[in-house]
Amino acid sequence: MTPSLVNPRQIIAKIGLWLAVFVIVSPAILFFLWMASLSLKFEVDNAAYPPVFIPEHFAWKNYADVLGSNRFLTYFFNSLIVTGSATALALMVGVPAGYGIARMAAHKSAIVILIARITPGLSYLIPLFLLFQWLGLLGTLVPQIIIHLVVTVPIVIWIMIGYFETTPLELEEAALIDGANRWQVFRHVALPIARPGIAVAFILAVIFSWNNFVFGIVLAGRETRTLPVAVYNMISFDQLSWGPLAAAALIVTAPVLLLTMFAQRQIVAGLTAGAVKGG
Amino acid sequence: MSALTQSTPAAAQSDAAPEKELRPPSYWPFVVPALVVVLAIIIFPWVFTIWMSLNEWKVGSPTTFVGVSNYLRLTSDPRFVEAVGHTLVYTVLSVVLPLVFGTLAAVVFHQKFAGRGFLRGIFIMPMMATPVAIALVWTMMFHPQLGVLNYLLSLVGIPAQLWVFHPATVIPSLVLVETWQWTPLVMLIVLGGLAAIPTEPYESAQIDGASFWQAFRFITLPLIMPFLFIAGMIRMIDAVKSFDIIFAITQGGPGSASETINLYLYSVAFIYYDLGYGSAIAVIFFLLIVALAALMLYARQRMLWTEIASGA
């Protein structure tokens, strides 16, 4: 028998590794499984002690209740409009800005992004709240779209600076020499190459805008709540019916979790590039 | 650029536009729209906040200039002083614990095993998930009678805890959530650091008979230090500002036992509508974060110098 085939040390190392993997991943797995379990149980099972992990009867009606309510649909569209607009606007101004800053090598301008990163979200809220009140915009979705730019614009600019710094200059220079103007170079040479970077910026901007809570609790009225705010308001109303609450929580965060699984590579690339969490 | 001037004959060949200067190119038009947005949503709020902090500014009553008296008021506000204490405790724990667990997790994820990509995706879910949604589920798990955490404790013979419902345990309990949520970020950053380490030092260490722990302590740890530092910095900035989790789970309670600066700022500005005083808190809060960041940079420099001095 060759020693490389059955090596007890290797087997122990293998078992140890799997044990370590299990220990490390289980807090996340168990949490989300428990979340799903809570959302699928009737009140009897949720109030049972010892706790029931897999109920005999699944309470699909928890989901039906949440999805069926008119308000939920309103809040869902609010979230969609706020996140969609804030992300689209951020890409429109942020991608060219990232390009310009990278090409001018204006690294000092990144300090503004840094300040934005350090500033607590609430600090923006006080002056902008007054401004929106003065402009008579409270009660519409506009204030939330604008203030979500605080989250999305720095993310997009930061990621795009980093991305454009790595894209080759030769093609752009060649295009300039051929008589293209700078806008054409950007539009037809730089932009197509930057598509993967734009995808990263888009995904992160969507996630952090979708998750944002603090801007909503101050600026949103009854009709203009986004989903995180709506879920929070559910807590104070019926603390005791856990099933529908957990179902609502899972529905709110489901798009983000799906995005995390399917766009993991982009998310990891974006987060390790240093642009993390706005607001 | 010389590369460009050398290649200008190519431009002359093609019947392109009249010779115009290619450099320095003006990329300003690309930046202007973003500049306007940044001025409006980041710079303007800052300037306005500083101005407001110098005024007595309450919603519904006239504004009067009061100079620095809002700042003086902070020093004699016991609730603010207490909030600073809570913030520091919360921050230190929420930096240290994720750094420790994140580094361990990174060492594990650096190994090769089946399903690594998928499991890494699961592992980073806590930090991507909507904070309010997970806060809600944690609140249910913390429930003293019906919560699953006390049930789990009872399985190993530990008496039931009050978690976030008792002043003594509320901050550690919130730190538990914060650690669960943000360990993945540290893991990702450290994993990037591990990927950059060459294999040679480990091979020679193995020949020298170094244990796994020795290899980690004397090879891995020094080499990932810069990454740990960045992770610590990001973690510090986020932990100081932590809001969603604390607000959704305890709202600063019980009493004011978990009221951090950010939570207090919210109350002052948007419950009492004392916007002038709130602005002063916002300014001091920002300066505190900058000071903490500077302190970390200073400590890092000191560490580097002592390393060089000791010849390590």
Give the model's pLDDT for residue A68. 84
Percentage of residues of chain A with pLDDT beyond 70:
94
3-state SS track over chain A: CCCCCCCHHHHHHHHHHHHHHHHHHHHHHHHHHHHHHHHCCCHHHHCCCCCCCCCCCCCCHHHHHHHHCHHHHHHHHHHHHHHHHHHHHHHHHHHHHHHHHHHHCCHHHHHHHHHHHHCCHHHHHHHHHHHHHHHCCECECHHHHHHHHHHHHHHHHHHHHHHHHHCCCHHHHHHHHCCCCHHHHHHHHHHHHCHHHHHHHHHHHHHHHHHCCHHHHHHCCCCCCCHHHHHHHHHHHCCCCHHHHHHHHHHHHHHHHHHHHHCHHHHHHHHHCCCCCCC
What residues of chain A, 114 to 173, have a C-beta less than 8 Å from chain B? Answer: 115-131, 146-147, 149-150, 153, 157, 173
Here the tokens at position A62 are 């928890």
Across residues B224-251, what is the average pLDDT?
Answer: 93
- Distance between CA atoms of A104 and B24, rounded to whole angstroms? 9
Taking each helix axis from N to C terminus, what angle separates A195-211 and A242-262, rounded to the nearest 10 degrees? Answer: 170
> For residue A278, is pLDDT > 80?
no
- Distance between CA atoms of B75 and A271, rounded to whole angstroms? 38
Query: Is the Cβ of A5 closer than 8 Å to some Cβ of chain B?
Result: no
Residue B238 lies in a domain: yes
Contact list, A104 vs chain B (CB under 8 Å)? 27-28, 31
Q: Which of A19-23, A220-224, B93-97 has the least mean pLDDT?
A: A220-224
- Distance between CA atoms of B67 and B72, rounded to whole angstroms? 10
Give the model's pLDDT for residue B308. 76
Chain B residue closest to A278 (CA)?
B238
Query: Is the Cβ of A101 closer than 8 Å to some Cβ of chain B?
Result: yes
The four Cα atoms A182, A183, A188, A191 give a dihedral, to 10 degrees, of 100
Residue B48 lies in a domain: no
Across residues A243-248, what is the average pLDDT?
Answer: 92
Chain B residue closest to A277 (CA)?
B238
> For residue B264, is pLDDT > 60?
yes
Give the model's pLDDT for residue B57. 85
Tell me the residue range of the domain where B161 lies.
70-311
Give the model's pLDDT for residue A225. 94
> For residue A15, is pLDDT > 70?
yes
- Distance between CA atoms of A121 and A213, rounded to whole angstroms? 10
Query: Is the Cβ of A11 closer than 8 Å to some Cβ of chain B?
Result: no
Residue B172 lies in a domain: yes
What residues of chain A, 36 to 65, have a C-beta less than 8 Å from chain B? Answer: 38, 46-47, 49-51
- Gap from B87 CA to chain A (nearest CA, Å): 13
Closest of B140, B245, B250, B247 to residue A35, by C-alpha:
B140
Confidence tier at A34 by pLDDT (50, 70, 90):
very high
| Reported ipTM exceeds the 0.85 cut | yes
Across residues B196-216, what is the average pLDDT?
Answer: 86
Closest of A219, A253, A248, A271 to residue A72, by C-alpha:
A248
Any residues with CB less than 8 A from the CB of B215 and at least 6 apart, and which?
B202, B205, B206
Is B293:B237 a contact under the CB 8 Å cutoff?
Answer: yes
Across residues B148-160, what is the average pLDDT?
Answer: 92
Residues B138-170, buried b or exposed e (16+ Cβ, 10 A)?
bbbbbbeebbbbbeeeeeeeeeebebbbeeebb
CATH number of the domain where residue B207 is located: 1.10.3720.10
Give the model's pLDDT for residue B26. 81
Residue B53 lies in a domain: no
Confidence tier at A50 by pLDDT (50, 70, 90):
confident
Classify residue B157 as left (phi > 0), alpha (psi -120 to 50) or beta: left
Q: Output phi, psi for B66, to 5 deg.
A: -125, 10
Give the model's pLDDT for residue B28. 86
Element containing residue B294 per DSSP (H, E) = helix B275-309
Is A194:A167 a contact under the CB 8 Å cutoff?
Answer: yes
Give the model's pLDDT for residue B101. 97
* Chain centre to alpha carbon of residue A42: 31
Mind giving me the DSSP string for B32-72? Answer: HHHHHHHIIIIIHHHHHHHHHHTEE-BTTS--EE-TTHHHH
Residue B122 lies in a domain: yes
Confidence tier at B6 by pLDDT (50, 70, 90):
very low
Query: Is the Cβ of A232 closer than 8 Å to some Cβ of chain B?
Result: yes
Confidence tier at A23 by pLDDT (50, 70, 90):
very high
Identity of the residue in A116, A130, A228 whose CB atom sits nearest the CB atom of B42: A116
Q: If DSSP codes are grouped into helix, strand and coil, which group holds residue B197?
A: coil
Contact list, A146 vs chain B (CB under 8 Å)? 41
Across residues B274-285, what is the average pLDDT?
Answer: 94
> For residue A150, is pLDDT > 60?
yes
Confidence tier at A110 by pLDDT (50, 70, 90):
confident
Confidence tier at A49 by pLDDT (50, 70, 90):
confident
Closest of A237, A234, A242 to residue A46, by C-alpha:
A242
- Distance between CA atoms of A6 and A11, rounded to whole angstroms? 8
Contact list, B109 vs chain A (CB under 8 Å)? 24
Highest mean predicted confidence (pLDDT) among A102-116, B27-41, B278-292: B278-292
Residue B121 lies in a domain: yes
- Gap from B86 CA to chain A (nearest CA, Å): 17
pLDDT in tens, B97-112: 999 999 999 999 999 9
Confidence tier at A106 by pLDDT (50, 70, 90):
confident
Give the model's pLDDT for residue A65. 87
Element containing residue B225 per DSSP (H, E) = helix B221-241
Residue B198 lies in a domain: yes
Taking each helix axis from N to C terminus, what angle separates B170-195 and A8-39, rounded to the nearest 10 degrees? Answer: 130
Whether residues A260 and B111 touch (CB distance < 8 A) is answered with no
Contact list, A25 vs chain B (CB under 8 Å)? 119, 122-123
Degrees to nearest 5, angle at CA A143 with A139 and A144: 100
Name the domain count of chain B. 1
Q: Which of A41, A169, A272 to mutate to test the interface with B (most CBs of B within 10 A)?
A: A272
Residue B247 lies in a domain: yes
Give the model's pLDDT for residue B302. 87
Contact list, A121 vs chain B (CB under 8 Å)? 241, 243
Alpha-carbon torsion B128, A143, A152, B46, what sign?
Answer: negative
Give the model's pLDDT for residue B102. 96
Contact list, A75 vs chain B (CB under 8 Å)? none
- Gap from A180 CA to chain B (nearest CA, Å): 9
Give the model's pLDDT for residue B67. 86
- Gap from B311 CA to chain A (nearest CA, Å): 31
Contact list, A186 vs chain B (CB under 8 Å)? 30
Confidence tier at A1 by pLDDT (50, 70, 90):
very low
pLDDT in tens, A151-200: 999 999 999 998 998 888 888 889 888 988 889 999 999 999 999 999 99
Give the model's pLDDT for residue A105. 84
Whether residues A242 and B140 touch (CB distance < 8 A) is answered with yes
Residue type, A6: V
Chain B residue closest to A228 (CA)?
B132
- Rounded to the nearest integer, the mean pLDDT of chain B is 88
Give the model's pLDDT for residue B85. 96
Residue type, A80: L
Closest of A102, A200, A107 to residue A156, by C-alpha:
A200
Across residues B240-262, what is the average pLDDT?
Answer: 94
- Distance between CA atoms of A279 and A219, rounded to whole angstroms? 14
> For residue B8, is pLDDT > 60?
no
